[in-house]
Amino acid sequence: MIKDRGIEAIINDNLIDNVLTIGSLLVGALTALLVYAYIAFAGPPFSANSHTILLVEMAAFLFGFTMMNLVGEIITSGTATTFVALAEDPEALARTKPQLYEKIRQTYPEVAVGI
């Protein structure tokens, strides 16, 4: 079904996973940086121990990375849903989201064959 409709080309051009992974890494790094700035300026009692600071920084990175990953999974699910809707019933997508369908049709004309 996906090859028949030409959706394979769109899936191959899908860069969302790469972008979201880089975004997750950046959010994790930003979270760790903000926690480090807090530790440097507020000076909590554990700030004298470098091992504790490293552990807190790693936890902050993992927290930021995980939060962005959760948001990214929602975006990835929406993208997969759009691909399935386009492959199974492109007329429904054309009725409900005409601007999106027109942009897809202009970029990938083989998708609109048979409609």
Q: What is the pTM of this model?
A: 0.74
Q: How far is residue 107 from each of residues 13, 19, 70, 110, measured CA to CA in Å?
A: 11, 21, 30, 9
Burial of 87 (0-12, 13-18, 19+ CB in 10 A): buried
pLDDT in tens, 98-109: 998 889 888 877
**What pLDDT was estimated at residue 71?**
95
CA atoms within 13 A on the CB side of 24: 18
29 Cβ contact partners less than 8 Å away, ≥ 6 residues apart: 61, 64
Q: Which two tokens stand for residue 22?
A: 């880089």
